[in-house]
Structure 1
Amino acid sequence: MSRIILRLKALFFRAVISFFTFFDLYLSHPLPQRVSFTKRIKSTVSSIPGSFDLLFYTPPHYTKSQTPNTQKHPLLINFHSGGFVIGHARDDARWATAVTSQTSGVVVSVNYRLAPEHPFPIGIEDCVSAVLWLWRHADEYNLDISKTAFSGFSAGGNFAYTVAIRLHEELARMKDEGTLEDVETGRLVHLVVFYGSTEYQLTRDEKDASNPNLIPVIPKFLFRLFDESYLPPKPERRSPLLSPGIAPDQLLEDALPPSLVMINCGGDQLLAEAERFKKRLVGLGKKVNGYIVEGVGHGWDKTPTFKKGNAKRDQAYRVAVDSLQEPWA
């Protein structure tokens, strides 16, 4: 499929998904927190110049004032879903609200550039640029970057892993070049991953066949749009920046933080690969909590509920927020 056709289809489905997101974020109660403020920054890691937005969600007692007694806040950097092609950083407002209402953390959701206009690995590099920018400006925003965590949903869950890996590589490069002193280095202490993809060397049919309890949610033509827009040629799909599930042990030990929480869907095509990865990380000495939400398909927490609420979503978010308490203590 030509890049022009891919872009036209992507634009169409971005409009469609924003329509449904409107019902979730503006018509389903209780309403989530609105964005506190936005900052546009440049991508410094990518070889493709460009800019993107950071959406800040802050707890009620947050202030940007600079006094000796001003509280420093733990930092959660979030990566949204959408197959790397659709979606927006504001889509995870409910998750951000759960964090800011139950912790002192600041959530920054990254509106990284999307494929097909910006295919692999530009989105990952934008997110690494966001991390480095936030670390550089931590004092300005009263952030405790020694307590940095990542979160992500679906494609953003993949980014939670791959941004950690790419960040590890970038910091090593900067150290070798003697430029690391220009960055106040934070510490990645935790990952929160909701139904993240981990093995792109597998076909979609293989992923479907791996779950006997599959609940189809995303049509195949949309998967085809995602994959043709974002993915590189097949031989390159074993890259740790696409398939962290098959990355070398040493890289995972060095790049990923000591603790994670993984919330997976019982009816998801990604369940088997996510659970394999969970078992592998435990074997590498990582502390991995979380559970499988039974009876739901991929992206179940993003469905508009209007006045009905979503008990499974609330429980999953509680578990995820609770997982932040220890690394943020």
Structure 2
Amino acid sequence: MEPNPVNKLQAPNLNFLQELAKLPVDWTTAPAGTDVEAMRKWIDNVLLKGPLAEHRAKCKFQRRRPEAKVDISDVSVQCSDGSQNKFIIRVYEPELGDNAPKQKLRPAIFMLHGGGWIHGNPCGDDLIATFFASELDAVILGVDYRLAPEHPFPAALDDCCEAIAWAIRNADQYHIDTSRMGIWGASAGGNLAAAVSIKHTQERSVTGYPSLRLASLVVPVTGHLKVLETFNKQRPCGKSHNEQAVADVPLAPELVVKEFEKVYELYLGNATDIYNPLASPLMVKDISQHPPTHVTVAACDFLMPQGLAYAQLLRSFGTSVTEEILPGVPHGFTFPLNADVTRKWIEDQRDVFMTAFA
């Protein structure tokens, strides 16, 4: 009798668990994800500073080129919604080598952090961003978009789109090749990266902006759970091989579902329809010329089905899509950067962008 593919995929990754246990973090002190202020303080004090930051900084990746010095600066950018608000773009610039042409143009990647749209900032991805900058000789732009609930949808999306416009306006200053730009987003950032890719594609006839070379969506939120239910009832495309293989994945616990829906409510505010494709990309209709897309899902993440469904939806529109399921790991698989599966995945992400920018 053939083993259940779901059981095989969801069998715990022992190396991941061992590396997770080594992290200098007491996870029992973490507040509820919907306790906005408490979670922001906890992330800042526990995850972005102190022993964990020092632990993560020691992680080493396999490099394809000598490590370059990467300069990091924060730039304040005016929001595009007519308000007086501003947001920050964290710029990671690899220094030009002594023999490099001073006007050499480099690709750019917009990195959109996770955090349920209500907490987090680009600093949490510093190590990955500097690795990408050095390895790809690319300018990495970490978007510190405005957070909900103070700034509900579409504030974060507007900021991410404005970051692209800002990069194009300032391409000469940062030596950016605007024909080689990509976007990367994790979790809620994956939702934003998907929405930005849709909006950027739809508006290109007006803006004249070049198309993105690649969208990398990492454990993305592609829709409210009610949206996923509607999508499956009115499914406009067949199921992929991977979707069929994980069809028997257990449902998320009720507590997790309620927490997820609460976070979505905080993000959307009172006025936004959950079926808006820029809030739930799984609802997008036929969209041509969407950028090539790479989707990463974690086998022990309840978001896996909607990530795979979105990959198949884009594929049905003619988009070039690749996808991967990381076995035995949960949604937050990037916490222990020293885990074999995490380290290899980060190195593979470099290669995916390297191919896209070639």
**Which amino acid in structure 2 is aligned with residue 187 of structure 1?**
S
1:132-152 Cα distance to aligned partner (Å, 9 max, x none)? 011011001111111010000
Cα distance in 2 for residues equivalent to 1:211 and 1:203: 19
Cα distance in 1 for residues equivalent to 2:193 and 2:269: 19
Alpha-carbon shift at residue 203 of structure 1 (Å): 7.3
Partner residue in 2 for 1:10: 36
Residues 1-329 of structure 1 mapped to structure 2, 5 A cutoff: 9-18=35-44, 19-22=46-49, 23-30=51-58, 36-44=72-80, 46-61=81-96, 69-172=102-205, 175=206, 180=207, 185-200=209-224, 202=226, 212=249, 222-223=259-260, 225-232=262-269, 236-249=273-286, 251=287, 253-254=288-289, 256-257=290-291, 259-303=292-336, 309-329=338-358
| TM-score, structure 1 as length reference | 0.81
1:199-236 Cα distance to aligned partner (Å, 9 max, x none)? 225279999x98735787x9567535522311245971
Deviates more, 1:83-92 or 1:48-57: 48-57
The alignment of Structure 1 onto Structure 2 pairs a total of residues equal to: 300
Cα distance in 1 for residues equivalent to 2:278 and 2:227: 17
Bigger radius of gyration, 1 or 2? 2
Shift of the 113–185 alpha-carbon distance from structure 1 to 2, 3 Å rule, reads same
Cα distance in 1 for residues equivalent to 2:222 and 2:199: 15
Shift of the 60–221 alpha-carbon distance from structure 1 to 2, 3 Å rule, reads farther
Q: Aligned to 1:187, what secondary structure does the other structure show?
A: coil
Cα distance in 1 for residues equivalent to 2:160 and 2:326: 28
Cα distance in 1 for residues equivalent to 2:130 and 2:248: 32
Shift of the 328–223 alpha-carbon distance from structure 1 to 2, 3 Å rule, reads same
Instruction: Determine if contact 1:78/1:107 at 8 Å carries over to the other structure.
Output: yes
**Which amino acid in structure 2 is aligned with residue 261 of structure 1?**
H
Cα distance in 2 for residues equivalent to 1:31 and 1:111: 24
Gaps of 5+ in 1: 1-5
Shift of the 31–42 alpha-carbon distance from structure 1 to 2, 3 Å rule, reads farther
Cα distance in 2 for residues equivalent to 1:58 and 1:229: 34
